[in-house]
């Protein structure tokens, strides 16, 4: 009973209702919307390589990779998203982040997309589009980082032939290029 | 804008239609009208009768059992009316659809397949502040209608 009266007196002293856009408690330096709150997605366009780790990890199949006309688009449909934050945790380049922005309501259903498009690289022998150009460069750097200096030069020489081909051409051309197809995996 | 329209925008009445789903969006809607977030200071009031309402808040993925009831509720609300789809279930059936994108046999599709929707509020569930923002957008739509 004493606790109840204390709580009632607290409520008379100060207003409980939160202001709408700022969301602050009156009289206290406490924001209702925290800085790490999960809201709208944001791409860091310089960092994103279009590897598709977020798409494979997405629990609700919200994130999709669409390849057309030499461009790969990573599209996130906010209408289906449950804002779990798995994509933010799995992203190897730390390019995808959830911002605390919460005002997502819209009149048009088609405007609920967050998109990022990247250029794709062509296969040198058959002309098919394989991966994004950024992804090839990051893979090259990451493999070369952990190698010993004796093997480094040889692997780099192999990779320059190898990474510009699509998976089918790698198998057929591996004898001509004098590279074993499983060497890099 | 005549007097009747002006009065309607300053005190819109809301009806909350629950169409399936996990009750999480309904709890957030209850929080919107509680003292902490207090949508009633803006004149928005929750009513239990669709005949009194201007705005319909629909939550959930609309199972086949609820489809006819939801249509009836939509017909009962007087014109002009605005329909707001709250949560990812109401927009695109959310987690109730299958992973490969095919439709669930028990659902009559998202809300916009059954009745016309004006405002979409994504989130699972949306924050109470997000619902207040969605209601503000719904009032803009209500001002355009006659």
Q: Are residues A149 and A117 part of one domain?
A: no
* A contacts of B36 (beta carbons < 8 Å): 16-18
Predicted pLDDT of residue A26: 52
pLDDT reported for residue B55: 92
Q: For residue B64, give every residue at least 6 positions away whose Cβ sits within 8 Å of its Cβ, in sequence order, or none.
A: B106, B107, B108
Per the structure, the complete domain to which residue B54 belongs is given by 3-144
Hey, is the C-beta of B31 within 8 angstroms of any chain A C-beta?
no
ipTM above 0.90, yes or no: no
Three-class secondary structure of residue A59 per DSSP: coil
**pLDDT-flagged residues of chain A (< 50):** 23, 29-30, 181, 184-185
Under an 8 A CB cutoff, do A102 and B101 touch? Answer: no
Indicate whether A101 and A149 sit together in one domain.
no
Mean pLDDT value across residues B128-142: 89
For B40, the closest chain A residue by CA position comes to A17
Which whole number is the average pLDDT over B77-86? 91
Report if residue A183 sits inside a domain.
yes
Looking at the structure of chain B, the number of domains it has is 1
B91: closest CA of chain A, how far (Å):
6
> B100 to chain A: nearest residue by CA?
A61
Asked whether residue A67 falls in the same domain as residue A108, the answer is yes
pLDDT of B56 above 60: yes
Question: Which pLDDT score, from 0 to 100, does residue A29 have?
Answer: 47
Identify the closest residue of chain B to A62 by CA–CA distance.
B94
Alpha-carbon distances, residue B143 vs A19, A20, A110, A111, B117 (angstroms) = 24, 22, 23, 22, 16
Picking from B88, B92, B130, the nearest residue to A102 by CB comes out as: B130
Size of interface A-B (CB pairs under 8 A): 78
On the question of pLDDT at B74 being above 90, the answer is yes
Mark whether A93 and A107 lie in a shared domain: yes
CATH number at residue A47: 3.30.70.3270
The parent domain of residue A95 ranges over: 34-122
Largest CA distance in chain A: 87
Asked if residue A182 is part of any domain, the answer here is yes
Taking the C-alpha atoms of residue A38 and residue A40, their distance in angstroms, rounded to an integer, is 7
Please identify, among A122, A147, A169, the residue that sits at the C-terminal boundary of a domain: A122
For residue B87, list chain A residues with Cβ-Cβ distance below 8 A. none
Question: Does residue B63 surpass a pLDDT of 50?
Answer: yes
- Domain tally, chain A: 2
Residue B19: name the closest of B83, B98, B103 by CA: B83
Answer whether B134 sits within 8 Å of A79, measured CB to CB: no
pLDDT of residue A180: 56
A164 shares a domain with A143: yes
For A106, list phi and psi in degrees, rounded to 5.
-150, 155
- List chain A residues with CB under 8 Å of B130: 102-105
Of A17, A20, A79, the CB nearest to B92: A79
pLDDT tens-place string over residues B92-115: 887 888 767 678 888 887 898 999
Residue in the block written with tokens 């009289």: A27
Q: Which residue of B has its CA nearest to A56?
A: B99
Percent of chain B residues topping a pLDDT of 90: 39
Of B35, B36, B134, the CB nearest to A105: B134
pLDDT at A185: 42
Is A170 inside a domain boundary?
Answer: yes
How high is the pLDDT of residue B65? 92
Half-sphere exposure of A29 (CA within 13 A, CB side): 0
Q: Domain check: are A118 and A152 in the same one?
A: no
Give the Cβ contact number of residue A155 at 10 Å: 17
For residue A32, count CB atoms less than 10 angstroms from its CB and return exposed for 0-12, middle for 13-18, buried for 19 or more: middle
Are residues A102 and A170 located together in one domain of the fold? no
| Pair A109, A155 in one domain | no
Same domain, A44 and A112: yes
pLDDT for residue B85: 93
Residues of A with CB below 8 A from B99's CB?
A: 61
In a domain, A82, yes or no: yes
Q: Which of A95, A122, A149 is the last residue of a domain?
A: A122
**What's B34's domain CATH number?**
3.40.50.12280
Note whether residue A6 is domain-resident: no
| A40 and A116 fall within a common domain | yes
Asked if A105 and A137 sit in the same domain, the reply is: no
pLDDT of A178 = 67
Q: Which of A122, A150, A171 is the last residue of a domain?
A: A122
State residue A31's pLDDT score.
53
Which of B22, B123, B133 to mutate to test binding with chain A, by most A CBs within 10 Å of its CB? B123
The interface residues of chain B toward chain A in range 33-92, judged by CB-CB distance below 8 A, are 35-38, 41, 88, 91-92
Both A78 and A110 in one domain: the answer is yes
* Helix B3-10 × helix B128-144 angle, to 10°: 170
């Amino acid at each position: 009973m004493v606790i109840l009266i204390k709580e009632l007196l607290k409520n008379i002293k100060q207003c409980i209702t939160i202001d709408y856009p700022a969301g602050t408690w009156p009289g206290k330096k406490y924001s209702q919307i925290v800085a790490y709150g999960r809201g709208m997605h944001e791409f860091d366009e310089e960092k994103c390589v279009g590897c598709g780790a977020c798409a494979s990890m997405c629990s609700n199949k919200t994130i999709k990779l669409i390849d057309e006309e030499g461009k790969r688009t990573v599209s996130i449909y906010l209408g289906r998203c449950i804002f779990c934050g798995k994509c933010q945790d799995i992203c190897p380049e730390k390019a995808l982040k959830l911002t605390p922005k919460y005002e997502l309501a819209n009149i048009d259903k088609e405007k609920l997309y967050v998109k990022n498009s990247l250029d794709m690289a062509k296969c040198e022998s058959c002309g098919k589009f394989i991966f994004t150009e950024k992804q090839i460069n990051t893979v090259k750097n990451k493999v070369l980082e952990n190698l010993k200096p004796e093997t480094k030069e040889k692997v780099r020489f192999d990779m320059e032939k190898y990474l510009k081909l699509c998976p089918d051409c790698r198998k057929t051309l591996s004898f001509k290029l004098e590279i074993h197809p499983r060497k890099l995996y | 804008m005549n007097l009747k329209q002006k009065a309607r925008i300053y005190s819109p009445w809301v009806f909350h239609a629950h169409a399936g789903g996990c009750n999480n969006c309904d709890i957030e809607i209850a929080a919107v009208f509680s003292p902490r977030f207090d949508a009633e200071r803006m004149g928005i009031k929750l009513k239990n009768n669709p005949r009194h309402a201007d705005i319909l808040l629909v939550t959930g993925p609309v199972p086949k059992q609820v489809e006819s009831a939801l249509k009836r509720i939509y017909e009962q609300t007087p014109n002009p009316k605005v329909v707001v789809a709250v949560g990812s279930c109401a927009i695109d059936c959310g987690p109730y659809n299958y992973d490969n994108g095919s439709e669930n046999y028990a659902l009559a599709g998202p809300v916009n397949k059954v009745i016309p929707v004006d405002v979409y509020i994504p989130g699972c569930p949306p924050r109470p502040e997000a619902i207040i923002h969605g209601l503000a957008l719904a009032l803009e739509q209500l001002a355009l209608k006659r």
